[in-house]
Structure 1
């Protein structure tokens, strides 16, 4: 795929690395206690995060934040069967750069809202530090360059609803870790919102089309859906360039879909120059997110083998 992106049109978000580990369904032949399940998943997540960081060569102390997002892992925490604080403490034993915040309110779009929060809060911190630095005659502070988002979706209770649902048909499960770098002052790289109509997916597709009109050279990485939804996307996007839908291969993998799409593209095509993409996710509750970003020849891409149950 040849995409002509100039310095003038290049977005200020760059993907430094993507790693994905497929999870089996069922997760276990016989489900262990939920606290043990979550601990095992945290262990695998921590290992993948360290694997990706090591291969990017980025120093762990350069990461400002790490958000863990999920669509389906909510009940263990809401029922108090597992406490996020305990999982966070376990993750911390694998390194200070492990997830420090859990987000699932926005379902599949949670990664985009996490990114918005990071960019807004860190920007405010930097502005405050700049004021103090100028008062004291010190060098101005720069905004932290790197952040990590991990996405974990596992059918931890083996509910049929998560295996197959009429809205997206077959589900896919896995652990995704994405490292992003802010390479330039950001303007409109991130688009987030919530549908106001009952047909949230169609409204989302319309927003994607409008956004793409302002992003020359971009290719869209859409969430994975069954054929009828794919056909609707094709109709509403009116021929805009997009990566293949991988629903037939992976099922609907929730917030991981666009990153899995970019990962497969990068592994299947030798990137010889930076390529511009729009990573897109939409949730059944109407939330959506679109990130304008670059994949480069230096982006680290890791497709791990399916997690083996002990």
Structure 2
């Protein structure tokens, strides 16, 4: 009799623990109550025409049909959940209009993309209007995470868009993976034309924006070389606001990917306030906390957007 009661209590204990774990997972996925940024939260107004083209290719009727389907098939989603996730999908679509290959790193964003495909005619019309070709669906699976491309995805994403707490909820922490060394070597050595052929959609649309991406990466690579050689200094970001932090962190990610990729996570963890980046560290971390431009260098002529070298190498200057 006593053994039976003990067994019942153990079973109840196990069930309670499982319910707590499931509840914890559900809360960790809950999106924060923040307003959705206007104009996709882009970093530069010169990218507005690309955003307008995307919005014009996505009629409201199509979005509403997808939303109704999502909310019917996912009763745990609120309208707010859908709007935020669809917002991040549009950011993903924009990056896809520039790069040749963009893996999907968010299961929840992928769910909306998959539902869009159920409206075959509408999706084909959207795809042809915006991409001038059919954008094929590349599913998100745990078995093919493509983490070797994740660092480059994060760098492009954060070069275009302001990060938000909900962005990190949907995509996961940014800049946890070093940028692939082959990609960095290519951006260092290859010409603009060769880089466009290898990494970008070769359609002539949005050529200036593709050139901006190339110039920004080249500047940050050359700036990292100058830091390594002691010609530049490291400085603290002007604040720990999410926007300021990631403007600096993309430059740091380039530097550590080139010169300390074997300790990349430990070094980047030093940069991140605890609410942005949580990785257990077993080793001491560097005291470097940010990039700043302290002098001109011979590589700045590579820029084509009219920005100073300061704005492209990590978001700040020291006089």
Sort the TM-score into its range (normalised by shorter chain). Answer: under 0.3
Q: Is the helix fraction higher in 1 or 2?
A: 2
**TM-score when normalising by structure 2:** 0.27
Q: Is the strand fraction higher in 1 or 2?
A: 1
Instruction: Point out which structure has higher relative CO (alpha carbons under 8 A, 6+ apart).
Output: 1
**TM-score when normalising by structure 1:** 0.28
Greater radius of gyration (CA) = 2
